[in-house]
Amino acid sequence: MILRAAICVAFVPLASLAQDEPPDWSAAETYADAAAEADPLIAIPLVEGEGTDGAWACASCHGENGQGAGPIPALAGLPAGYIVKQLHDYAAGARLNDNMQYVANRLDATQMAALGAYYAAQIRQPTAGATLGGDLARGRTLALEGDWTVDVPSCFSCHGPSGWGVEQAFPPIAGQHAAYIDRQLSAWKSGDRANSPLGLMHSVAKGLSASDIKSVSDYLAELPPPQPRDRVSLTREPQDE
């Protein structure tokens, strides 16, 4: 993890390191520890039921078992720590989306940790695919090699050789919905999304054209999705009387 972070930090201009805060590569790992201690069954009424405190259930947007669709991301199989960090960022206003901020501000830390554990345990189905008309050959080049003429490293240099993610801070991108990837890369490029540790994704996205973003989004969506790394029981064990 430390080596991976060091390699990726090398891609970030020094000026951005000073401006972005907090420079916390450990945040996702810290939240993963909380998720490991959480009871994922707490998440079930939040996911499948009526939601919480006036907020709608997660499944009403992210679908059954967190498969997502179009611009709404698949959550199944994402690292628990990454999921929990995003929820905290929404609640704090570090990541902006009206719907998600509304929901996150009605969750407590225990519920966030439980949701991370729940979705990390779900199996991602291969429902994504190229939908944006991007150039898949160009997308493959960007994912595997990058384009140093515009200071863009390969996606897989941080997100793993199959795009299946690395530890908690670098989420899987293989098999994610193209429209969601496109929207996030565009948001980083414009500055509308600003919660990437050390400004890494801001720096990468600035070098991508709109055409490049569509191409790499389509390519990644065509790849096999990751399998869940954090399998937990979602059934209550019988208690001895």
* Binding-site residue ranges for heme c: 58, 61-62, 100, 155, 158-159, 201
For residue 121, give every residue at least 6 positions away whose Cβ sits within 8 Å of its Cβ, in sequence order, or none.
40, 228, 230, 231, 232, 234
End-to-end CA distance of the chain: 44
Q: Give the H/E segment covering residue 118.
A: helix 109-120
What is the three-class DSSP state of 166?
A: strand
Q: Which two tokens stand for residue 47?
A: 């996911």
DSSP state of 122: S
**Whole-number Cα distances in Å, 170 to 9, 137, 158, 189, 203:** 13, 24, 7, 18, 15
- Bridge partners of 72, per DSSP, are 69
What is the three-class DSSP state of 5?
A: helix
Binding-site entries: 58, 61-62, 100, 155, 158-159, 201
What is the three-class DSSP state of 9?
A: helix
